[in-house]
């Protein structure tokens, strides 16, 4: 992740599983939880959303992967929020909470201040 480009991240039903492992089978979202724990904290604010009924297949378990990333963010001292509902692998819950998600991510934004 390049923190010079952004400082806020919003994820709905994030694929933090082994879905895109690459040629060496080490690339992919399943590594993020460990990387968050083992690398210096970045100045990023993170909003995660997932549901208990999200995907569970050969690539991994989406709810478990999102919970694990949330725990890693907490462990590393990140400014994060995790909204965990009962939803499936869809954007329905994320869309419903989008205004609140954006307000939380930009809660300290000040207009006209450079």
- In tens, the pLDDT along 10-27 reads 999 999 998 877 777 667
* Residues written for the chain: 114
- In tens, the pLDDT along 75-101 reads 999 999 999 999 999 999 999 999 999
Both structure tokens of 26: 């080490």
**Is the confidence at residue 44, as pLDDT, over 70?**
yes
Q: Facing residues of 10 across strands?
A: 47
**Is the confidence at residue 1, as pLDDT, over 60?**
no
Q: Facing residues of 60 across strands?
A: 57
Residue 51's nearest CA partner among 82, 72, 5 is 82
The CA–CA distances, whole Å, from 56 to 38, 51, 64, 74 equal 26, 12, 9, 24
Residue 103's nearest CA partner among 48, 50, 47, 51 is 47
Per the prediction, the chain carries an average pLDDT of 91
Q: Which residues contact 59 (CB under 8 A, 6 or more apart)?
A: 17, 18, 19
Q: In angstroms, how far is the first alpha carbon of the chain from the final one?
A: 25
**By percentage, how much of the chain surpasses pLDDT 90?**
79
């Amino acid at each position: 992740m390049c923190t010079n480009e952004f400082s806020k991240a919003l994820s709905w039903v994030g694929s933090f599983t082994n879905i895109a492992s690459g040629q060496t089978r080490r690339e992919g979202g399943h590594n993020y939880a460990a990387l968050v724990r083992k690398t210096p904290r970045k100045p990023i604010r993170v909003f995660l959303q997932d549901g208990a009924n999200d995907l569970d297949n050969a690539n991994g378990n989406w709810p478990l992967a999102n919970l694990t990333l949330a725990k890693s963010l907490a462990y590393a001292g990140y400014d994060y929020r995790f909204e965990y509902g009962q939803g499936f692998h869809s954007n329905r819950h994320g869309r419903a909470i989008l205004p609140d998600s954006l307000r939380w991510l930009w809660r300290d934004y000040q207009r006209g201040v450079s």
